[in-house]
């Protein structure tokens, strides 16, 4: 919310330190998502421009591994004049030389265009802006949220925050397509968050129903629900991240009783199961709660664990 990006050094996982901050980006602000490219540079999305154009679209920025600014490009597309493109999440494919970005504001009061954008990875040229056909009455096309390339690098699956699922195909050609493949029923389902794509398993956290749904997307045009893991009513699932080389997945939830939990994933059956060893106390509830007054560095009060990732440095100790 401050528009600042911090770099953390986790060489000693139990003694992390702030290693610096990333440069600001001329003409863009409000960074959101980052991905590290094969050469070590870091590509980021930023939600807003400098206010000089109607719509105040965001864009992309490239940084050195240490967070030094290299260059940026705008999400403004003359074919969509005045569109409020809130460049949000991204995924990259070296196989097809493509980047996909979505458009959703972290500040929900902001105007936003329901579009997805396709870029060329090698030079960050904007190739195409694809609008979402408005659905009625469920509005499942609103707020394009997260996108993941399939292993072929030429197709991808995307979810909206309003729980519509879409297939993007032909991404390396002249006529990429966006087609709806599934929408969860409204108003029950809302808040489809940060998913995982593991092989042909699409794992989706759904905040409003307090559950994680696993879909088999072997046929991406016909997602099949394979399993569901339900949480209690205090846990609003939002973020998922997998530990490299393991079946562990870390899950975070915000709200009045924010916490982080861990599950194990069976890639044969598509089933999720709680890791009961991960808890504050042996007889306490699952997970680690963040609604506490005391922290190792002092009394700071409640914290909201928006996202979580595994530290590679800690992998040898698991």
Q: What's the pTM?
A: 0.93
Which positions ≥6 away from 48 have C-beta within 8 Å? 28, 29, 30, 56, 57, 58, 86
Give the number of domains in the chain. 2
Confidence of residue 317 (pLDDT cuts 50, 70, 90): very low
Q: Per-residue confidence at 297, pLDDT binned at 50, 70, 90?
A: confident
Q: Which of 130, 164, 190 is the last residue of a domain?
A: 190
Closest CA to 202 of 224, 186, 183, 180: 224
Q: How confident is the model at residue 17 (pLDDT cuts 50, 70, 90)?
A: very high
Tell me if 29 is assigned to some domain: no
Q: Is residue 251 predicted with pLDDT exceeding 90?
A: yes
- Contacts (Cβ under 8 Å, ≥6 apart) of 152: 95
> CA torsion sign, 260 to 264 to 268 to 270?
negative
Q: Which helix (H) or strand (E) holds 33?
A: strand 29-36
Q: What is the mean pLDDT of residues 130-151?
A: 90
Q: Are residues 205 and 250 in the same domain?
A: yes
Residue 6 lies in a domain: no
315 is a domain residue: yes
**Residue 3 domain-assigned?**
no
Question: Rounded to whole angstroms, how far apart are CA atoms 161 and 40?
Answer: 30
Q: Are 31 and 63 in contact (CB under 8 A)?
A: no
17 belongs to a structural domain: no
Q: Which tokens is 154 given?
A: 């030429």
Last residue of a domain, one of 190, 224, 242: 190
Cα angle: 192, vertex 197, 162; to 5 degrees: 15
| 314 has a pLDDT exceeding 70 | no
User: CA angle, 148 as apex, 144 and 149 as ends, to 5°?
Assistant: 130
- The verdict on residue 158 lying in a domain is yes
Two structure tokens written together for 3: 């528009």
Are 137 and 224 part of one and the same domain?
no
Residues 50 and 108 in one domain: yes
State the pLDDT at residue 148. Answer: 98
User: Pick the residue with more confidence: 274 or 318?
Assistant: 274
Asked, for residue 294, whether it belongs to a domain, the answer is yes
Angstrom distance (rounded) from CA 105 to CA 87? 8
237 pLDDT more than 80: yes
SS3 label, residue 236: strand
Same domain, yes or no: 230 and 311? yes
**Do 283 and 178 have their domain in common?**
no
Which string of DSSP letters, residue by residue, matches 134-198? PPSSS-TTSSEEEEEE-TTSS-EEEEETTSEEEEEE-TTSSS-EEEEEEEPPTTT---B---EEE
Question: Both 131 and 268 in a single domain?
Answer: no
pLDDT at 125 over 50: yes
Which comes out higher in pLDDT, residue 133 or 221?
221
Separation of alpha carbons 185 and 233, rounded Å: 19
User: Using 50, 70 and 90 to split pLDDT, how confident is the model at 318?
Assistant: very low
Query: What band does 136 get if pLDDT is binned at 50, 70 and 90?
Result: low
Same-domain status, 246 and 133: no
Question: Which residues, 6+ apart, have CB-to-CB distance to 268 below 8 Å?
Answer: none
Same domain, 277 and 164: no
Query: Helix-strand-coil percent breakdown of the chain, rounded to 5?
Result: 0, 45, 55
Helix, strand or coil, per DSSP, at residue 317: helix
How does pLDDT run across 203-227, given as a tens digit for each residue?
Answer: 999 999 999 999 999 999 999 999 9
Domain range enclosing 268: 193-318
Q: Is 54 helix (H, G, I), strand (E, B) or coil?
A: coil
Average pLDDT, the chain: 93
Band of pLDDT at residue 229, cut at 50, 70 and 90: very high
Other CB atoms closer than 10 Å to residue 309's CB: what's the count? 12
Q: What is the mean pLDDT of residues 134-149?
A: 88
Paired strand residues for 229 = 212
Band of the pLDDT at 313, cuts 50, 70, 90?
low
């Amino acid at each position: 919310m401050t528009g600042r990006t911090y770099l953390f050094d986790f060489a000693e996982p139990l003694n992390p330190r702030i290693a610096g901050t990333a440069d600001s980006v001329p003409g863009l602000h409000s960074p959101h998502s980052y991905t590290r490219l094969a050469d070590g540079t870091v590509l980021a999305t930023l939600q807003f421009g400098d206010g000089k154009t109607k719509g105040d679209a965001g864009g992309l920025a490239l940084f050195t591994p240490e967070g030094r600014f290299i260059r940026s490009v705008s999400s403004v597309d003359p074919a969509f004049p005045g569109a409020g493109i809130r460049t949000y999440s991204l995924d990259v494919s070296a196989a097809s030389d493509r980047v996909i970005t979505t458009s959703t504001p972290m500040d929900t009061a902001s105007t936003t265009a329901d579009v997805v954008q396709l870029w060329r990875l090698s030079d960050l040229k904007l190739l195409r802006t694809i609008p979402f056909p408005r659905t009625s009455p469920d509005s499942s096309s609103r707020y394009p949220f997260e996108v993941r390339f399939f292993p072929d690098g030429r197709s991808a699956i995307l979810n909206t925050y309003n729980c519509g699922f879409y297939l993007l195909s032909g991404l390396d050609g002249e006529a990429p397509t966006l087609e709806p493949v599934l929408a969860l029923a409204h108003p029950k389902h809302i808040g489809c968050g940060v998913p995982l794509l593991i092989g042909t398993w699409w794992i989706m956290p759904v905040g409003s129903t307090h559950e994680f749904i696993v879909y088999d997307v072997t046929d991406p045009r016909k997602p099949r629900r394979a399993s569901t893991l339900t949480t209690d009513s205090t846990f609003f699932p939002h973020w998922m991240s997998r530990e490299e080389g393991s079946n562990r997945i870390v899950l975070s939830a915000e709200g009045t009783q924010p916490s982080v939990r861990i599950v194990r994933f069976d890639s044969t059956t598509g089933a999720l199961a709680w890791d009961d060893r991960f808890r504050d106390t042996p007889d306490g509830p699952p997970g680690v709660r963040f609604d506490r007054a005391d922290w190792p560095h002092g009394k700071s009060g409640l914290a909201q664990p928006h996202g979580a990732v595994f530290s590679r440095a800690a992998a040898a100790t698991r």
